[in-house]
C-alpha cells in the first residue's frame, strides 16, 4: 500500500495542537496579562478544563475524518461526504463543546447563558473547529504532493520494472504465446491513500463524471488513473467483459441477465455500479459466449 502522509495520525502532534489551541481559547478576550495569570489558581483550573475539552474535540474530529476517508471518497460520493463531514466533524463537535462548557459552568454554579462565553470564546472555538477541518483535508494532500509521485507516474514506473523482468523471447516458455500476461493489480486512490488493488477483488469498473472507479466485492469504491480502454486490453478477457462504453464487469460479479428489448440485455451485478448495466444488441451474443465456459 502506498500511503500518503498522515500528519495528524501522530498522537503527539494532535496533543501539541490541543495544548496550543487550549492556550488561545483560555486567553482569548482575557483582560489580564498571561504572565500575571500564570501565578493564579484560576488560570490552571480553566486551562486544564479547556485542554480536556480540546483533546476530546481534536480526537473526535480525527476519528471521524479518517472514518469518512475510508467510507466515502470525495469524488465517488461528493454529496454524502460533504454532508457527513459537516455533520460529524463540525456540527457535532461544536455541540459537544457547548454541552461540556455548560457542564463546567454548572459545576461552578453558573448558567452559561448568563456569561460572556457564548459571545466571545464559543464563536472563536467554532472558527478553530472549522480551521481544524480545513487542516485535516488540505495538509495531507499538500504533503503528499511534495513527497510522492503522481499515481499515473507510479504505474508507469511499475510497468517499466515489470517489462525489465520479462525474459527474452528466446528464453520464454513455448507453452504459452508471448503477450498473454495480464494485470494482477492496479494502483488506485482511496481517500488520501494510493493503494495496491488486486484485480481479483474487483467486481466492476465504471466511468462516472469522467472519473474511472473500481468497485470491490465489499462495495468500496476506488479511483483509477487508467481509462476503460486501457483496462479492457490489460485485464484477462476470461474474467472481465466490457459490457458497454461505461462498464467492465467481472465474471464473479455477474448474477443474471434479462431481456431489455431490441436484443439488448440488462445485467444484474453485485456489487452494482453507478452506471447502466445494459449490453447492446451487437455485444449480446459475445456476452453469452463469454458466459458459456
With beta carbons less than 8 A apart as the criterion, state whether 220 and 233 touch. no
Q: What is the pLDDT of residues 116-138, one digit of tens each?
A: 889 888 999 999 999 999 988 88
Q: What confidence score (pLDDT) does residue 55 get?
A: 94
Q: What is the 3-state secondary structure (H, E, C) of 33-99?
A: CHHHHCCCHHHHHHHHHHHHHHHHHHHHHHHHHHHHHHHCCCCCCHHHHHHHHHHHHHHHHHHHHHH
Q: What confidence score (pLDDT) does residue 143 get?
A: 57
Rounded to 10 deg, the angle between the 11-27 and 121-147 helix axes is 150
Q: Helix or strand or coil: residue 219? A: coil
Q: What confidence score (pLDDT) does residue 140 get?
A: 65
Residue 157 has pLDDT above 90, yes or no: no
Beta bridge mates, 247: 206, 244
Which is higher by pLDDT, 35 or 197? Answer: 197
Q: What confidence score (pLDDT) does residue 293 get?
A: 73
The whole-angstrom distance between residue 143's C-alpha and the CA centroid of its chain comes to: 16
Residue 182 has pLDDT above 70, yes or no: yes
Q: What confidence score (pLDDT) does residue 190 get?
A: 86
Residue 147 has pLDDT above 60, yes or no: no
Q: What confidence score (pLDDT) does residue 177 get?
A: 46
Amino acid at each position: 500500500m502506498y500511503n500518503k502522509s498522515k500528519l495528524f495520525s501522530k498522537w503527539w502532534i494532535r496533543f501539541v495542537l490541543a495544548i496550543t489551541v487550549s492556550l488561545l481559547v483560555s486567553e482569548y478576550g482575557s483582560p489580564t496579562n498571561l504572565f500575571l495569570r500564570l501565578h493564579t489558581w484560576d488560570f490552571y483550573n480553566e486551562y486544564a478544563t479547556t485542554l480536556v475539552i480540546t483533546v476530546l474535540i481534536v480526537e473526535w474530529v480525527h476519528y471521524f475524518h479518517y472514518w469518512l476517508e475510508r467510507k466515502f471518497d470525495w469524488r465517488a460520493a461528493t454529496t454524502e461526504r460533504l454532508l457527513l463531514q459537516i455533520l460529524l466533524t463540525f456540527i457535532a463537535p461544536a455541540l459537544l463543546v457547548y454541552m461540556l462548557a455548560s457542564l463546567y459552568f454548572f459545576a461552578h454554579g453558573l448558567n452559561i447563558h448568563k456569561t460572556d462565553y457564548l459571545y466571545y470564546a464559543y464563536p472563536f472555538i467554532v472558527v478553530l473547529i472549522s480551521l481544524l477541518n480545513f487542516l485535516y483535508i488540505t495538509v495531507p494532500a499538500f504533503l503528499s504532493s511534495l513527497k510522492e509521485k503522481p499515481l499515473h507516474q507510479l504505474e508507469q514506473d511499475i510497468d517499466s520494472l515489470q517489462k525489465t523482468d520479462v525474459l527474452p523471447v528466446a528464453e520464454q516458455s513455448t507453452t504459452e504465446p508471448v503477450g498473454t500476461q495480464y494485470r494482477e493489480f492496479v494502483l488506485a486512490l482511496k481517500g488520501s491513500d494510493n493503494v495496491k488493488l488486486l484485480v481479483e477483488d474487483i467486481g466492476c469498473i465504471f466511468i462516472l463524471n469522467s472519473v474511472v472507479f473500481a468497485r470491490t466485492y465489499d462495495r468500496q469504491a476506488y479511483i483509477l488513473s487508467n481509462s476503460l480502454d486501457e483496462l479492457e486490453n490489460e485485464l484477462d478477457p476470461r474474467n472481465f467483459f466490457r459490457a458497454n462504453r461505461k462498464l467492465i464487469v467481472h465474471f464473479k460479479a455477474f448474477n443474471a441477465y434479462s431481456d431489455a428489448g431490441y436484443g439488448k440485455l440488462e445485467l444484474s451485478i453485485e456489487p452494482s455500479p453507478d452506471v447502466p448495466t445494459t449490453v447492446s444488441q451487437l455485444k449480446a451474443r459475445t456476452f453469452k459466449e463469454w458466459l458459456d465456459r
